[in-house]
């Protein structure tokens, strides 16, 4: 289904929100990017709605519709009844006037097809041959059953959607016409591709709104009075049932909206807990008025329902009911065969995820899956990887960090921007003669070190590197490096104990100093001796003086 919803890779930030909200977990992660699994996707649009980075994009068919308009055939729009919520107060005539400015020949309400479908549902109930009847007006529900609950396929009412029924009607009345459906649904694009002879193009409300805006077309209510139509309630929760005349009291009539609720009901049906039921199912919460291209715009469910209810009426269209065969459709089994891990494979994956025992299985859902075992199955199937487990990564990072802190020969101290000690490692405790971390964590650094270098780094942001300091209180020499993390406003201090080096250096300096002193005394003594000898021999002392002076300079250099 990636042809209907595509990913903008640059925007995907690996947050797992899409998989967390995907009701059928039809999203995999590869290369730290979300990928829709077409064979499992039901086009509910939740990934599009919840993505905080707008990384999911619905296929835009505006250009296709524009090409149809500029063709030879008249183009007639079929407008989903939920338009009353998205374009409140405009009415079908107002919508038609605006669409004609774009080049459409005419516009009609899909509610006409909804009324026909509702009557067909009534006929199925009258027959009493089907024990459980699930409405088939929502393509996402149909895909949910076909791909994930194939055993329930016989329960689907073998009736086309209102969109298909209406567009067929248009083409019967206008044989040369092209049809463009306009609605709140992504899965209608898939439904249209299944019925290419009836629907030539599908636009979402977002697409038509953008087209109006680009052409600077404003929507205005039509002054003409419009009669109320009961089938306009179809896009609301329970709206199908409200549009029907329920002909039999042998059935229970139930309305279910929201994919999670639909899944729960389908599971109950699968295990035989339900019988003699007509179930109106819609994947979106609140039904079609909560569709993905209306929810993205943050419409309010209550106000949307009020607008649709206000626009609807008590009567239905008086369209003649087509032959039963003309409304029939079959539903294929689209289930994808899945491979599951055996117990040993499951245990191996859980162990790699850091789940050593069941107590480690937090089932926190941060990875997007409902449980650690469900995530492990996804790893086995290649949909997920081990790094998607936030607690695992946190524990791994903390363990790695703790190992560095505990085993580093250098002292490490972490401060906040108030110069309060947040962490201190064993090496630093030893350097500073502190019994335990609890004695200093939370206290001001002034209690153990001169705060001036930290204040300077905090003020300038520049790194202080390898500054040699004598800690008189601890009788130690250290090389101090101070670094500021500008993002988190944390200060890292690294202390390298150079006491032994400094002591050794001082010893060498002392040896050199004493050697120089001895050399000076030797030179002085030798000079006296040489001068005495020279006075006897009459020789110059210049060469001897130069040689001894060079020896002294050599010792001073050391």
Q: Which CATH architecture has domain 408-497?
A: 2-Layer Sandwich (3.30)
Separation CA 205–CA 183 (nearest Å): 5
Q: How would you classify the pairing of strands 75-79 and 106-109?
A: parallel
Q: Whose structure tokens read 């539903």? A: 331
CB 424 within 8 A of CB 449: no
- Distance in Å from the first CA to the final CA of the chain: 78
3 state DSSP class of 87: coil
Farthest-apart Cα atoms in the chain, separation: 148
Range 27-51 burial, b when 16+ CB lie within 10 A, else e: bbbeeebbbbbeebbbbbbbbbbbb
Range 423-432 burial, b when 16+ CB lie within 10 A, else e: bbbbbbbebb
| DSSP category for residue 82 | T
pLDDT tens per residue across span 426-468? 999 999 999 999 999 999 999 999 999 999 999 999 999 999 8
Q: How many CB atoms lie within 10 A of CB 17?
A: 18
Separation CA 60–CA 44 (nearest Å): 17
Separation CA 47–CA 17 (nearest Å): 8
3 state DSSP class of 529: helix
CA–CA distances in Å: residue 298 to residues 15, 17, 107, 187, 207: 21, 18, 26, 20, 16
CB 207 within 8 A of CB 145: no
**Lookup: tokens for 497:** 């104990």
Separation CA 355–CA 373 (nearest Å): 10
Separation CA 166–CA 359 (nearest Å): 56
pLDDT tens per residue across span 414-429? 999 999 999 999 999 9
Residue 294's Cβ-side half-sphere holds a number of Cα atoms within 13 Å equal to 28
Separation CA 56–CA 50 (nearest Å): 9
* Residues near 212 by beta carbon (within 8 Å), at least 6 away in sequence: 98, 102, 218, 219
CB 144 within 8 A of CB 354: no
Separation CA 375–CA 385 (nearest Å): 9
Separation CA 162–CA 301 (nearest Å): 22
CB 208 within 8 A of CB 226: no
Q: Among 49, 72, 75, which residue's Cα sits nearest to residue 62?
A: 75
pLDDT 10s digit of each residue in the chain, 558 long? Answer: 558 988 777 678 778 888 889 999 998 887 778 889 999 999 999 998 888 888 888 999 999 999 999 999 999 999 999 999 999 999 999 999 999 999 999 999 999 999 999 999 999 999 999 999 999 999 999 999 999 999 999 999 999 999 999 999 999 999 999 999 999 999 999 999 999 889 999 999 999 999 999 999 999 987 766 777 888 999 999 999 999 998 889 999 999 999 999 999 999 999 998 999 999 999 999 999 998 887 555 568 888 888 888 888 777 655 567 777 788 999 999 998 888 899 899 888 888 887 878 877 787 777 778 888 888 888 888 888 877 777 766 666 667 777 878 888 899 999 999 999 999 999 999 999 999 999 999 999 999 999 999 999 999 999 999 998 898 888 889 999 999 998 889 999 999 998 888 777 777 777 777 777 776 777 777 777 767 776 665 555 566 666 667 666 665 665
* Residues near 30 by beta carbon (within 8 Å), at least 6 away in sequence: none
pTM: 0.74
Range 232-243 burial, b when 16+ CB lie within 10 A, else e: bbbbbbbbbbbb
**Lookup: tokens for 269:** 């049906």
């Amino acid at each position: 289904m990636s042809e209907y919803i595509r990913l903008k890779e640059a925007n995907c930030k690996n947050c797992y929100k899409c998989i967390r909200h995907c009701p059928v977990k039809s999203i995999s992660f590869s290369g730290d990017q979300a990928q829709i699994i077409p064979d499992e996707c039901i086009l509910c649009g939740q990934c599009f709605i919840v993505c905080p980075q707008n990384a999911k994009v619905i296929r835009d068919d505006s250009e296709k519709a524009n090409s149809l308009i500029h063709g030879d055939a008249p183009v007639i729009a079929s407008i989903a009844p939920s338009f009353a919520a998205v374009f409140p107060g405009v009415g079908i005539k107002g919508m038609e006037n605006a669409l004609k400015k774009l080049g459409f020949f005419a516009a009609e309400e899909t509610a006409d097809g909804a009324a026909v479908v509702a009557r067909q549902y009534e006929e199925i109930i009258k027959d009493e041959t089907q024990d459980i009847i699930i409405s088939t007006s929502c393509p996402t529900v149909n895909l949910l059953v076909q791909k994930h609950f194939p055993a329930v396929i016989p329960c689907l009412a073998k009736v086309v959607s209102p969109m298909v029924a209406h567009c067929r009607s248009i083409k019967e009345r206008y044989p040369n016409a092209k049809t463009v459906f306009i609605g709140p649904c992504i899965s209608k694009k898939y439904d249209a591709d299944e019925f290419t002879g009836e629907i030539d193009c599908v636009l979402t409300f977002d697409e038509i709104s953008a087209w109006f805006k680009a052409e600077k077309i404003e929507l205005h209510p039509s002054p003409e009075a419009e009669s109320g139509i009961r089938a306009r309630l179809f896009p609301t929760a329970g709206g199908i049932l409200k549009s029907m005349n329920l002909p039999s009291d042998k059935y229970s009539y139930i309305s279910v909206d929201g994919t999670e609720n639909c899944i729960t009901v389908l599971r109950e049906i699968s295990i035989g807990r339900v019988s003699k039921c007509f179930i109106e199912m819609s994947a979106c919460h609140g039904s079609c008025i909560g569709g993905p291209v209306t929810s993205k715009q943050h419409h309010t469910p209550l106000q949307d329902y009020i607008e649709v209810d206000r626009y609807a009426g008590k009567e239905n269209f008086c369209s003649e009911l087509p032959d039963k065969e003309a409304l029939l459709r079959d539903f294929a089994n689209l289930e994808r065969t899945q491979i599951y891990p055996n117990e040993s494979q499951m245990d191996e994956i859980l162990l790699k995820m850091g789940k050593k025992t069941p107590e480690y299985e937090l089932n926190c859902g941060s990875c997007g899956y409902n449980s650690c075992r469900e995530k492990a199955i996804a790893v086995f199937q290649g949909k997920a990887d081990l790094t998607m487990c936030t607690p695992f990564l946190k524990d791994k990072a903390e363990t790695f960090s703790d190992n560095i802190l505990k085993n580093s020969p250098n002292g490490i101290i972490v401060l906040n921007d108030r110069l309060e000690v947040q962490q201190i490692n064993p090496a630093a405790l030893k350097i500073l003669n502190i019994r335990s971390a609890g004695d200093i964590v939370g206290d001001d650094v002034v209690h153990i070190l001169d705060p001036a270098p930290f204040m300077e780094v905090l003020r300038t942001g520049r790194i202080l590197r390898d500054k040699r300091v004598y800690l008189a209180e601890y009788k130690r020499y250290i090389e101090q490096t101070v670094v500021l993390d500008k993002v988190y406003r944390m200060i890292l201090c690294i202390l390298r104990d150079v006491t032994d080096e400094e002591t050794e250096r001082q010893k060498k300096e002392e040896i050199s100093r004493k050697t120089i002193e001895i050399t000076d005394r030797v030179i002085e003594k030798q000079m006296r001796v040489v001068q005495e000898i020279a006075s006897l021999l009459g020789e110059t002392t210049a060469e001897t003086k130069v040689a001894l002076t060079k020896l002294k300079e050599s010792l001073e250099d050391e």
